[in-house]
Each structure stands twice: as structure tokens, then as C-alpha cells.
Amino acid sequence: MHKFYFFLWLRWLVRVSLCSIILASTLSFIITIYTYLSQDLPTLNSEVYLALKNVFIFWFPISWSLTLLIALFRALKYIFNTKIAGYELKLYSCDMKDVLEDIGYGDIVKVWRKWFMLMIWLVGSLMILSLVYTYIFTSLHSVFSWFSIYWLFAFILISGYFSFMIMSHRCKRVKIVKC
């Protein structure tokens, strides 16, 4: 069973990472191009390249915060009906009679809300443990001195593993089936 959860989490991790980073890079690139175009197309030289790079770097964490939510929603759809190590997660209809084989985004909204709240609690718990650790073992005494979207992303990825273990108990429509 641990092998199932690990490989399910690994597939989810890759999907969330790639989707969120590619979407964030695309959005940051579009904002950077818009900024360049709104400045009446200055001649490209080293200063302009540096300025455009700084605009991209500025907007990337902001856009990543948005695209991470989108990626978390989209990636949840793909964890169902995937056979891994003799098990698979099944999503049932609202009346719990039928297994949904072709899952759409509308089918996972209620499950995503419960799973997302579970993720919030798990990430919050990890943040508290990290804050206690940094307070006891480091010279940092403030969460804002080290916390960023990059740490949040790491906490989300770690919490995702544990959320899959808890999800079938928390969401009545989700069951683990031996295949």
C-alpha cells in the first residue's frame, strides 16, 4: 500500500510541478512582453534585457501563486482510475452507486474542496513545525524572514503525500480499490 501512495504522489508531484511552473512562466513571459510593448519597443541592449529579466523574475512568484491553485485543481482529476501497485483510487457518483470512469472537472469540485481544506491543515501543521524548528535550532525568530512561495510549494508537495493517505477516509466518494 505504501508503494501505491508513493507512486501516486510522485505522479501527482510531477504533474503539479510541471503544470504550475509552465503556466507561471508563460504568464510571467506574457506580462514581460506586455511591459516591453507598452514602453514603445525600446532598442534591445543589455540594460533592456536586464530590465526585462527583472520584470520576469518579479512576476514569476506572483503568477506562480495563482497557477499553483490551478495546477492543484487540474492534477486532482488525474489521480483517479490509475492502476499503481495493484491498487487504484476510484471516484463514485454523488449517490455512491456508480464508479465514475470518465471524470470531468465538474465531478471533482466537491472532492477538491474537501481535499484542499485537508491540504490547508496539513500545510499549516508543517509551517508550525517548521517555525518551532527554526525558533529552537536557528537564529531566525520570524516566519517572514525565511518563508516564501518556494517554501510553500515544498510544504504543499510534502503535504500532498499525506493527504492521499487521508483522502479516502475524509471524502466518502473516494475509495481505494484493489485491482
E strands, the chain, in order: 87-91, 174-178
The distance of Cα 6 from the centroid of its chain, to the nearest Å, equals 16
> Residue 156: what pLDDT?
95
Average the pLDDT over 5-29 and give the result.
96
> Residue 95: what pLDDT?
77
More confident position, 56 or 107: 56
* Rounded-to-integer distance, Cα 57 and Cα 120, Å: 27
pLDDT band of 11, cuts 50, 70, 90: very high
Reply yes or no on whether the pLDDT at 23 is more than 90: yes
> What is the extent of the structural domain holding 95?
2-178
pLDDT tens-place string over residues 142-175: 666 777 888 899 999 999 999 999 998 888 889 8
> Residue 172: what pLDDT?
85
- Average pLDDT score, the chain: 91
pLDDT band of 55, cuts 50, 70, 90: very high
Q: Choose among 4, 5, 175: nearest CA to 98.
A: 175
Average the pLDDT over 35-52 and give the result.
91
Q: Range with the lowest mean pLDDT among 4-13, 15-24, 79-88, 157-166?
A: 79-88
pLDDT tens-place string over residues 73-121: 999 999 998 899 899 989 888 877 788 888 889 989 999 999 999 999 9
| 130 contact partners, CB below 8 Å, separation of at least 6 | 151, 155
Domains contained in the chain, number: 1
> Residue 143: what pLDDT?
65
Report the 10 Å Cβ neighbour count for 124. 12
